[in-house]
Amino acid sequence: MPELQKCYKIEVLVDAPLVQRIRRLAAERGIRSYRLQSTLGGTEDGGRWRDDQVTGGAGSKVLLIAIVTAVESDRFLEVLSPLVYELSLVVTRSAVESLS
């Protein structure tokens, strides 16, 4: 059986216009591998939102997903923590196992 590595999955839901800022913060914390996923819509405390192709994506959200080490995870969460409310981020971290 292949050997699984213990690691963390970080997910950051961010407004599309701010995704470059989150990507830069990830890179500055040593995270070089991640995936970006567009979203269709959802609800949160501020109400419903949906992908809006008409306004150039201003109301759209993007999900950044990264599989990282514990150190990378801690560094990234440390820099994201003060931005959660300011940028209306949704940030999650899950312990996972990954094939390397």
pLDDT at 45: 66
pLDDT at 24: 97
- Find all residues with CB under 8 Å of 58, minimum gap 6, and list them: 15, 16, 17, 52
pLDDT at 78: 97
Please state the length of the chain.
100
Token representation of residue 51: 């992908």
pLDDT at 25: 97
pLDDT at 44: 65
CATH code given to domain 4-99 = 3.30.70.120
pLDDT at 66: 98
Q: Write down the domain spans for the chain.
A: 4-99
Residues in the chain predicted with pLDDT less than 70, given as ranges, are 44-59
